[in-house]
Structure 1
């Protein structure tokens, strides 16, 4: 996440309807950043692996960020 109040960048693991808050200023006015995750399946095919970001654009927000919509 990126806090829109104090610009602190942080990671948070949230479940269900939980809302993250900035650990520095406690604001809930946050912008989401790229979240990489994997999904477990019963498929044993080599082609069923997780798909990563392209990593080729050089966007300062990180690999794959250029394809993400702005949350503003």
Structure 2
């Protein structure tokens, strides 16, 4: 299961939640203020090569079949 990042629209707090891909924001509340008004944020990660090239954003999708 992926970890999703959320931003509370009530207090602007950022927090993370481990949940299934098919789960929406229903039932998610802010751990700081308890508000149910939360918005899922776009999460990306960056990687660098061993040669020290600049970091580039990477998607979570990879091509199928490696042959």
TM-score (normalised: structure 2): 0.47
Structure having the larger proportion of residues in helix: 1
Higher relative contact order (CA 8 A, sep 6+): 2
Instruction: Considering fraction of residues, name the structure with more strand.
Output: 2
